[in-house]
Structure 1
Amino acid sequence: MVALLIDTDPALAHEHALSASRRAGRIPVTRETLAITAYRNGDFGLALRELRTYRRLTGSDAHLALMIDCERGLGRPQKALETGLEAKDAELDMEQRVHVAIAMSGARLDLGQTQQALFELEIPELDPKRAYSWSPDLFGAYATVLEDLGREAEAAKWWANAERAAGALDDHFGARDELEVFEVFEHDYVESDDADSTDEATSDEATSDAEASEEDAPELAEAEAAPAADADADRIADADSPADAPEAEDEVPAAEEAADAAAEQPEAEPKQ
C-alpha cells in the first residue's frame, strides 16, 4: 500500500507504514519504509530515528544521504557533515556515493561554504560523456553551485548536460516506465440475423411436425382401432366355440332318463 500511495497520497502511505511498524517492528524493511514516508511528509526527526534503527539492524549505510538531508531538515548542517564523514566510501556503491556527495554539498551551502560545496561534487562520476540514473541530479547540483559562485556560463553548460542526460535516459528507459494494459471482454452472444434465422428454423420445424401429425392422424386412429376390433372378434369367437357343447350334451341324456323313469312307474289305480 505504501508503494501504491507514496506518490499520490504520502500522508495515507505514512499511516500504512506506521501500521506495519507496529506489527513488525523488528523487520528492517518496515523501519526503512516508515523512515521514507516520514521523510516525504517532512517529519525529519522520525525519519532520522528510523534510519538509524535500520542501520543498526542491518549494518548498512545505504540511506546515508537521506540521513544527511534529515539533519539538514532539522537545521543542523554541521551535524549533517559529521554524519557524512562517518561513511566509508569503500562500503558505498556508485549511486550511494553520488547521493552522499550531493547531500554534503547541500550542507556546505547551508553553512555558506560555497567553494567547498563545489569541491564536494567534483568526483569521478561527474562525467558529462556518460549518463546514469543519478547523472541529471549530479549535473544539476553542480550547475546550481556554479551559479552561486557567479560562473553563469559554466552553469549553463552543466544545465545543458543535465537536460541531455535526462533526455538520453528517457529515450532508453522511458518505454519501460509505462505499462499499457488492454482489457478484452468476451461475451457469448448470437448476432441478430442468426437469431432470426434460428427462430425461423425453429418455427418451420414446429410447423412441419404439426403437419406430419395431421397426416398421420388417420393411420394412428386405424392402428389404435385395430387392437379393439381384434379383441371383439376374439370375444365373439370364444362365444361360438365348442367349449359350451358338453353342457348341451349333458342336458339331452338327463331328459331321456327322466322320460324312462316316468314310463316304468305303474299307472295309478282309479279311486273307488
Structure 2
Amino acid sequence: MLPEEITGYELDKSVRQQLRTLSKDNAEGVARHLVAAAELLEENPEKALDHAQHAVSRAGRVPAAREALGLVLYRTGEYAEALREFRTARRLSGSDHLLPYMVDCERGLGRYERALELANSPEAQRLPEADNIELAIVVSGVRRDMGQARAAVVGLRLPALQRATTQPWAARLFYAYADALMDLGESDEAREWFVKADEADRDGETDAGDRIDQIDGFELTDLTPEDEDEQDPRLAEIDLSEYGAVQPQRPEATSVEPSETSVDGAANERAVSDDIIESAAPEAESSGERTVPRATFDDGSSRG
C-alpha cells in the first residue's frame, strides 16, 4: 500500500526521465514505489525492500529501479544480491557511479583482493571527484580489514583532504581519515580530524562528536537500576544527575534528634558516597566503525 501523499514527483528529474520508457500509469506507480523505498530505508528496511522489489517487477530494465533495489539490499547487508543488482544497473545505464558500492560489497563478502582489483580498474580511475572520494573511503576500509593500517591512512591523503571545507563529502572524508588514524594509534591527530568532521557535518551523518568525547575521556553512564526495587539505598543520598543518572525520589525525612553516633555515621556515609562517585567515573574507549556510502536513489553522484 502506497501512502497517498507520495506522488512520485519527489524523484530526481534524471530518474523520472528513465521512467519515460514505461506507460504513464506504470511510470507513476514505479516512481511512487521508488520514493517509498527511499523514505522507508532507515526506519523500516523490510517495507523499503518490498517497495523496491515492486518497482523492479514493473520496471526491470530501468537502471534506477535496479539501483534502488541494490541500495536497499546493500544497506541491509545482503551484499551478494546487492552486487548483482548494481552490476545490472551499471550494464543498463553505462554509468560507473556505482563502483564504490560494488567495491564495498566485495569487501562485505570478504573478497578483499577482488575489491582492490575493481577499485584499480580503468573505469574507477575515470570517476568524478565525489565518487572517487567515496571509493577512496571504501578502499581505506578494505586496507584496515586486511590489517594494513598505515596504507589505510595513506590512501586517504588526497588533495581534497587539505582543501575540503563544507562539500557534501567533506565530513565523511574527514571522519574516515580520523578513524584510520585511530586504528594506527595516532589518537591526538585523529582528534583534530574528528573535530573537522564534526564542524563539516551539517546533516548529522557521522558520530564525530561522540568520538571526540571518547578520546577526551567523557562518557555518560546511567547508574539507575532497571528495577527500582533493587536500587542501592546508598544512591539515594547522592545527587547523580551530574553523572548521567536520574535522581531518585526520596520520601520527606522526619526530624530526629542527633545522637552521639550521628557524626561517625555521616562520615561513613560520605565515604561510601565518595566510593560510588569514583566508581561512576567514565573510562574513554575508542571503537572503529566501518564507514559506508550513504544510500540515494538519485542516478547522480552525490554521496556526501
TM-score surpassing 0.5?
yes
Distance 1:42 1:129, change over 3 A: closer
Alignment partner of 1:102 is 2:137: yes
Distance 1:87 1:99, change over 3 A: farther
Matches within 5 A, 1:231-242: none
Match of 1:21 in 2: 56
- Select 2:180's aligned residue among 114, 138, 145: 145
The alpha carbon displacement at 1:135 in A equals: 0.9
Give the AA of the match of 2:107: R
- Select 1:41's aligned residue among 71, 76, 81: 76
Alignment partner of 1:83 is 2:110: no
The question of whether the paired residues in 2 share the 8 Å contact of 1:61 and 1:87 is answered with no
- Select 1:113's aligned residue among 148, 156, 177: 148
Give the AA of the match of 2:138: A
The question of whether the paired residues in 1 share the 8 Å contact of 2:73 and 2:82 is answered with yes
- Select 1:32's aligned residue among 44, 48, 67: 67
Distance 1:158 1:64, change over 3 A: same
RMSD: 1.7
Distance 1:43 1:115, change over 3 A: same
The question of whether the paired residues in 2 share the 8 Å contact of 1:21 and 1:31 is answered with yes
d(CA) in 2 for partners of 1:159, 1:4: 29
Match of 1:164 in 2: 199
SS at match of 1:51: helix
Alignment partner of 1:7 is 2:42: yes
Match of 2:157 in 1: 122
The question of whether the paired residues in 2 share the 8 Å contact of 1:140 and 1:158 is answered with yes
Distance 1:42 1:98, change over 3 A: same
For the pair shown, which has the larger CA radius of gyration, 1 or 2? 1
Give the AA of the match of 1:121: L
Match of 2:108 in 1: 73
d(CA) in 2 for partners of 1:51, 1:16: 17
The question of whether the paired residues in 1 share the 8 Å contact of 2:52 and 2:68 is answered with yes
Aligned residues: 169
d(CA) in 2 for partners of 1:68, 1:156: 28
The alpha carbon displacement at 1:88 in A equals: 3.7
d(CA) in 1 for partners of 2:124, 2:104: 18
Distance 1:41 1:128, change over 3 A: same
Matches within 5 A, 1:196-235: none
The question of whether the paired residues in 1 share the 8 Å contact of 2:96 and 2:124 is answered with no
Match of 1:210 in 2: none
Alignment partner of 1:59 is 2:106: no
Give the AA of the match of 2:159: P
Give the AA of the match of 2:120: L
Give the AA of the match of 1:102: I
The question of whether the paired residues in 1 share the 8 Å contact of 2:99 and 2:124 is answered with no
The alpha carbon displacement at 1:87 in A equals: 4.5
SS at match of 1:96: helix
d(CA) in 1 for partners of 2:150, 2:136: 14
SS at match of 1:102: helix
Match of 2:168 in 1: 133
SS at match of 2:160: coil
Give the AA of the match of 2:140: S
d(CA) in 1 for partners of 2:127, 2:164: 23
Tell me the TM-score normalised to structure 2 length: 0.53
- Unaligned ranges ≥5, structure 1: 171-272
The alpha carbon displacement at 1:90 in A equals: 5.6
SS at match of 1:121: coil
The alpha carbon displacement at 1:63 in A equals: 1.2
The alpha carbon displacement at 1:84 in A equals: 0.7
The alpha carbon displacement at 1:151 in A equals: 1.4
Give the AA of the match of 2:102: M
Percent same amino acid at aligned positions?
42
The alpha carbon displacement at 1:13 in A equals: 0.8
| Structure with more of its chain in helix, by fraction | 1
d(CA) in 2 for partners of 1:94, 1:43: 27
d(CA) in 1 for partners of 2:165, 2:193: 13
Give the AA of the match of 1:132: Q
The alpha carbon displacement at 1:25 in A equals: 0.9
The question of whether the paired residues in 1 share the 8 Å contact of 2:137 and 2:156 is answered with yes
The alpha carbon displacement at 1:134 in A equals: 1.0
Higher relative contact order (CA 8 A, sep 6+): 2
